[in-house]
Amino acid sequence: GVITNAGGAVRVKTLPGQENYPAVNANGIQSQVLSRWASSFSVTAGPKNTALEAVGRSVSTARPSTGKRPKKTLDKKAGNKDCKADIAFLIDGSYNIGQRRFNLQKNFVGKITLMLGIGTEGPHVGVVQASEHPKIEFYLKNFTAAKEVLFAIKELGFRGGNSNTGKALKYTAQKFFSLENGARKGIPKIIVVFLDGWPSDDLEEAGIVAREFGVNVFIVSVAKPTTEELGMVQDIGFVDKAVCRNNGFFSYQMPTWFGTTKYVKPLVQKLCSHEQMLCSKTCYNSVNIGFLIDGSSSIGESNFRLVLDFVSNVAKAFEISDIGSKVAAVQFTYDQRPEFGFSDYVTKEKVLSAIRNISYMSGGTATGDAISFTTRNVFGPVKDGPNKNFLIVLTDGQSYDDVRGPAAAAQKAGITVFSVGIAWAPLDDLKDMASEPRESHTFFTREFTGLEQMVPDIIRGICKDFLDSKQ
């Protein structure tokens, strides 16, 4: 591809069939930058070498003078549509790895980048460097073409310091994948952690945070610690604790940074296996939560507002969207009034506004009937959907009808029931409605103002049930 002569001047060798791509741009200036960039990636000539083709195409900034523009460039812009993923490469920039191996690591990440097929419709990548303090080098939104990403990787400077991989992993999970930084809705989030040797801090907590944020963590460990080095490793099982699932799929071992070409394709295949990204689904983006709200006369208008605040605060914690979590509400007295269903509003703003606009009915209390109605009419249409179903029953008093039978039927239909009692709600009723284990699904407060303190516990309860159902 690129030949550098003794004086360091770069000249570009044209491959057969590439005569239409001169290494000169419209102003007649040789495109030095890209040639220089190309030469840093060690490329072996071969008939099927994608790296060579990429160089051949990107050297020119002028349009080919003759012939039709090849169709392929259009696909190239879109990228590999079969590999939709938002990927952060968390590279090791510590003194552990050193400058020389750091450059080999960049080279390897460059090869992965080329093979992934980055493009507007395909995978997007960004890079974070782990060292004493993590640094986001570039975000998903910064580049959508492979050659730009390769150039950015080449320009990365070595930072040094301790390899605080746990700190960097936690930071990346929390800060990197925001919508404003280019993360896309409904596309798997992946962090590929490159580790030379071992981390100088703890990875377990970072792994938990990443899973909560719906991030699939892969660990590529290079040069395992030797027997005499093992004493310096805080936690020998660090890989298993950090990865998305300890099932062998998310960990990847390479003996050394040399001769890594053969490891590129198997790793890329893993990163593109959409259905294996077990951590993309979290309690925040994969649940349906139905609220069954008591509208009986004993509550009164001002307390009813406190109940609606509680409903809003629980709903607010979840990622509500057409492909995420969904919320529905039914108000009941002797009668039931569906306020809105799971498919009525697909943004958080609209759901919260619908909750605010619920008007107070006033009447009796037939909780059992209301549970049956909600199971049939609200959860019925989504019972075969991908989300896990939860029902939160809020009541301030004794029900006039049986609650045990309807609650058991709801649970049999795959709905996890939380009962929240206020003021005069009898504990027996609450326990009869709640899912097992009853203690952790039953809540009670003497005053309506006590509802606010329960919000985090209810959210945590939903997340715990969600995780337990996935194990």
Instruction: For the chain, list the domains and their CATH numbers.
Output: 86-276 (3.40.50.410), 287-468 (3.40.50.410)
Q: Both tokens of residue 127?
A: 């890079």
Structure confidence at residue 471 (pLDDT)? 62
Which three-class secondary structure state does DSSP give residue 52?
helix
Q: What is the DSSP letter of 83?
A: -
**Separation between Cα atoms, residue 156 and residue 338, nearest integer Å:** 56
Structure confidence at residue 287 (pLDDT)? 95
Q: What is the DSSP letter of 3?
A: E
Which three-class secondary structure state does DSSP give residue 269?
helix
Beta bridge partners of 290: 328, 391
pLDDT 10s digit of each residue in the chain, 471 long? 444 444 444 434 344 444 444 444 444 444 444 444 444 444 444 444 444 334 433 333 444 444 544 444 446 788 898 898 999 999 999 998 999 999 999 999 999 999 999 999 999 999 999 999 999 999 999 998 989 999 999 999 999 998 899 999 999 999 999 989 999 988 999 999 999 988 888 899 999 899 888 999 999 999 877 777 667 776 778 888 899 988 899 999 999 999 899 999 999 999 998 888 888 888 888 999 999 999 999 999 999 999 999 999 999 999 898 888 999 999 999 999 999 999 999 899 999 999 999 999 999 999 999 999 999 999 999 988 889 999 999 999 999 999 999 999 999 999 999 999 999 999 999 999 999 999 999 999 999 999 999 999 999 999 889 988 876
**Separation between Cα atoms, residue 275 and residue 267, nearest integer Å:** 15
Burial of 184-213, coded b for 16+ CB within 10 Å and e otherwise, reads eeebbbbbbbbbbbbbbbbbeebbebbbbb
* Residue 302: other Cβ atoms inside 10 A: 9
Q: Which one, of 313, 340, 345, lies nearest residue 328 by Cα?
A: 340
**Separation between Cα atoms, residue 289 and residue 295, nearest integer Å:** 19
Structure confidence at residue 43 (pLDDT)? 42
Report which secondary-structure segment, H or E, holds 166.
helix 165-175
Structure confidence at residue 65 (pLDDT)? 46
Structure confidence at residue 274 (pLDDT)? 83
Structure confidence at residue 291 (pLDDT)? 98
- 8 Å CB contact between 183 and 173: no
The CA dihedral of 316, 318, 323, 329, to the nearest 10 degrees, is: -60
Q: Both tokens of residue 88?
A: 């952060």
Cα 68 to Cα 20, 71, 73, 86: the distances in Å are 10, 9, 12, 34
**Separation between Cα atoms, residue 193 and residue 163, nearest integer Å:** 12
Name residue, tokens 């003996």: 255
**Separation between Cα atoms, residue 221 and residue 181, nearest integer Å:** 27
- 8 Å CB contact between 97 and 196: yes
* Residue 73: other Cβ atoms inside 10 A: 9
Cα 174 to Cα 169, 210, 211, 239, 455: the distances in Å are 9, 8, 11, 20, 22
* Residue 239: other Cβ atoms inside 10 A: 24
Which three-class secondary structure state does DSSP give residue 175?
helix
Residue 29: partners with Cβ closer than 8 Å, 6 or more residues away: none
